[in-house]
Amino acid sequence: MTIIRPPSRLFRGYVFDLDGTVYLGDALLPGARLTIQTLRAAGARTVFLSNKPIETRADYADKLTRLGIPTPVEDVVNSSWVLARWLAQEAPGAALFVVGEPPLQEELQAAGFHMTEEPRKIDFVVASFDRTFDYHKLQVAFDAIRAGARFIATNADRYCPTPSGGLPDAAAVIGAIEGCTGHAVEVVVGKPSPITARAILDRLNLPTAECLMVGDRLETDIRMGRESGMHTAVVLTGVTTAVLLARAEAQPDYVLQRLDELLPSTERARCGCQEA
Amino acid sequence: MTIIRPPSRLFRGYVFDLDGTVYLGDALLPGARLTIQTLRAAGARTVFLSNKPIETRADYADKLTRLGIPTPVEDVVNSSWVLARWLAQEAPGAALFVVGEPPLQEELQAAGFHMTEEPRKIDFVVASFDRTFDYHKLQVAFDAIRAGARFIATNADRYCPTPSGGLPDAAAVIGAIEGCTGHAVEVVVGKPSPITARAILDRLNLPTAECLMVGDRLETDIRMGRESGMHTAVVLTGVTTAVLLARAEAQPDYVLQRLDELLPSTERARCGCQEA
């Protein structure tokens, strides 16, 4: 029994998750380039969305361009950019302590925020994916939150998959800070948050019902798409397997084995894509 | 309205929490020395119990002795010793990865366990209070648990109070590992675990109903005492205030303002203790 349910129509806007959807590591997934080329040629808008805060939007745009999918930086949204955008509305000029890597710090500095390690001067503790996380950072975060700082995070992913297994992601930092302070994180801006959905839909500038969210994760990509009113398609090239999908309560509108199943069969024939 | 309810009898065995009960930092709390001297002179057994795994039992015995309460190492129980004792029954000779400080590692090595950082060789990941916690340790713990290692902890205290605030304690390490692995810690041996109650009661070797648990924390000291069938007394010299106590659902049998209220009034008069 096949569970594959490709869409039979085109949409005006497409949101593509990156890792596990468009590429895996440094290699494009089958059909990705032709699919995006064809959709763009048909007049669709395409944006790319990642929860990863350890590289900048420009890094992702460069990578896509290098892989044969020319993409301007404005068409990439990641959780550090969403955080900077959210904070700029919520508390412009606030003092931050960031448990995160240099690209996130730079994004926030560029948005007019300054960093401090003095607990009583910190307005927000920002938890993120941080491969330099240590006890000193934990101590500053603890002291600041006990002194009244607010506690927010870029994303809540448990780990970032790698060829050898995975890297502990922002959920580890959130868990450490929640564990010692007893304070739950107040806002997580990354997928599946409606804050990210809003940032994406603002960029697409299209009616929500004309947009399709395409990703490999049910609990982030598909959940965010559903909750924001987009159509949703899961592609089984990343973390979601057919078995996981069958067990899931909330089903996406569409299920793809390969990204080029987004194209109606006439388009696939025209562009020479391999049939699934 | 006073909430003070001292006991009107003596017990055959007394379990004293240390920080906030017998001493604060490096100073004995009022009445502590005379109380323990008097109880011992009356034939009672006294043992001391700490959740702190960053010093050895010998360190605590030395400190008590130095402060004027001569105590053999056998009368001190802390969470690292309880962990070593529990593991020696559960999995003698197991391979461990310890997110903890040298005193805990030494306690476990002395009990016949060996340490490794090779994820596939690790039988147990041990989370503890660790002021040298960093991303490398988090990565090893993550890899080991994903490869099938069991996940246990010495204690689950959020933070260790200090004059300047507090130090993130084992709950931070547990939270970080739970956050990235999605696995809940399987066993926490420290207070209020019945594993610690068992270790204490084995040491006292008295009927449980003849023992009094004395401590400053409702959620660890008093909870463990109640659940194990001991009598319980909270002393308001540490983290529990009269307001917190009034709000608490589970009440201890006795409430003390000072430790010497453990002594019946005749004893207090005889030893010259100040009345509360």
At A59-69, the pLDDT tens digits run 999 999 999 99
Average pLDDT, chain A: 94
Question: Which residues from A are below 8 Å from B184, CB to CB?
Answer: none
Please tell me which residue of chain A has the smallest CA distance to B127: A176
In chain B, the residue whose alpha carbon lies closest to the alpha carbon of A167 is B139
pLDDT above 70 covers a percentage of chain A that reads 95
What is the model's pLDDT at position B163?
A: 77
Residues in Cβ contact with B93 at an 8 Å cutoff, skipping those fewer than 6 apart: B112, B113, B114
Given an 8 Å threshold on Cβ–Cβ distance, is B168 in contact with A133? no
With CA atoms as reference, report the closest residue to A16 among A267, A265, A259. A259
Structure tokens at B150: 């069991």
Choose among A135, A166, A169: nearest Cβ to B133: A135
Our CA dihedral for A81, A84, A89, A90, rounded to 10 degrees, sits at 130
Best of B54, B180, B188, B217 to disrupt the A interface by mutation (most A CBs within 10 Å)? B180
In a 3-state reduction of DSSP, which class is residue B241?
Answer: coil
Cα dihedral across residues A53, A56, A57, A59: positive or negative:
negative
Give the closest of A130, A143, A174 to B179, CB-based: A174
Q: Which two tokens stand for residue A251?
A: 């089903």
A20: left (phi over 0), alpha (psi -120 to 50) or beta: left
CA gap A34, A46 in Å, rounded: 13
Question: B158–A130: do the CB atoms touch at under 8 Å?
Answer: no
Whether residue A176 and residue B173 make contact (CB cut-off 8 A), yes or no, is yes
Beta bridge partners of A167: A160
CA distances (Å), B228 to each of A35, A69, A219, A236, B225, in order? 65, 65, 42, 52, 5
Least CA distance to B175: which residue of chain A? A175
B131, B146, B179: residue with CB nearest A172: B179
Please indicate whether residue A143 is annotated as part of the active site. no
* B contacts of A146 (beta carbons < 8 Å): 165-166
Name every chain B residue with its beta carbon within 8 A of the beta carbon of A178.
175
A114-145 pLDDT, tens digit each: 999 999 999 999 999 999 999 999 999 999 99
pLDDT for A35 equals: 97
User: What average pLDDT does the segment A5-9 reach?
Assistant: 94
The pLDDT of A9-28, averaged and rounded, is: 95
For the CA atoms of chain A, what is the radius of gyration? 19
Percent of chain A with pLDDT over 90: 90
Tell me if A180 and B165 make a contact (CB, 8 A cut-off): no
CB-based contact B132 A132, cutoff 8 Å = no
Please give the pLDDT value at position B220: 95
Q: In terms of CA atoms, which chain A residue is nearest residue B162? A: A143
User: Which residues of chain B lie closer than 8 angstroms to A165, CB-CB?
Assistant: 143, 146
Class of residue A79 by CB neighbours under 10 A (exposed 0-12, middle 13-18, buried 19+): buried
The answer to whether the Cβ–Cβ distance between A171 and B165 falls below 8 Å is: no
Q: In whole angstroms, give the CA distance from residue B211 to residue B197.
A: 11
The crossing angle, in degrees rounded to 10, of helices B79-90 and B102-110 is 40
Q: What pTM value is reported for the model? A: 0.92
Q: Which two tokens stand for residue B187?
A: 């066993």
Task: Verify whether residue B17 is a known catalytic residue.
Answer: yes
The verdict on a CB contact (< 8 Å) between A173 and B178 is no
Q: Å from B78 to nearest chain A CA?
A: 20
pLDDT of residue A249: 86
Q: Could you tell me the pLDDT band of residue A272, with boundaries at 50, 70 and 90? A: low
Q: How far apart are CA B6 and CA B21, in angstroms?
A: 15
The yes-or-no verdict on residue A173 having pLDDT over 90 is yes
3-state class (DSSP) for residue A161: strand
Contacts of B138 in chain A (CB under 8 A): 133, 168, 172
Closest CA to A126 of A85, A81, A173, A91: A173
* Residue that has been written with the tokens 């463990």 in this structure: B224
Q: How far is A148 from chain B (nearest CA, A)?
A: 13
Nearest to A143 among B132, B165, B179 (CB): B165
Tell me the residues of A at the B interface, defined by beta carbons under 8 Å apart. Answer: 130-135, 138-139, 142-143, 146, 158-159, 165-169, 171-182
Res A181: pLDDT: 98
Question: Number of residue pairs across A and B with CB atoms under 8 Å?
Answer: 95
Give the model's pLDDT for residue A276: 37
**Per-residue DSSP letter, B112:** T
Cβ-based interface (< 8 Å): residues of B facing A: 130-135, 138-139, 142-143, 146, 158-159, 165-169, 171-182
Task: State the nearest Cα–Cα gap between B182 and chain A, in angstroms.
Answer: 7
pLDDT score recorded for residue B271:
58
Stretches where chain B sits below pLDDT 50 are 1, 275-276
pLDDT digits (tens, 9 = 90+) for A86-116: 999 999 999 999 999 999 999 999 999 999 9
Chain B residues touching residue A132 (CB < 8 angstroms): 135
What pLDDT is attached to residue A200? 97
Q: What is the pLDDT of residue A271?
A: 58
Q: What is the pLDDT of residue B267?
A: 65
Q: How far is B137 from chain A (nearest CA, A)?
A: 10
Q: How many CB atoms lie within 10 A of CB B209?
A: 10
pLDDT at residue number A250: 81
Q: Using alpha carbons, select from A160, A93, A162 the residue that is nearest to residue A130.
A: A160
Phi and psi of B111, rounded to 5°? -90, 10
- Write down all domains in chain A, each with its CATH number in brackets: 13-51+191-271 (3.40.50.1000), 91-188 (3.40.50.1000)
Sequence letter at residue A245: L
Q: Tell me, what's the pLDDT at B275?
A: 42
| Whether B109 contacts B126, CB under 8 Å | no
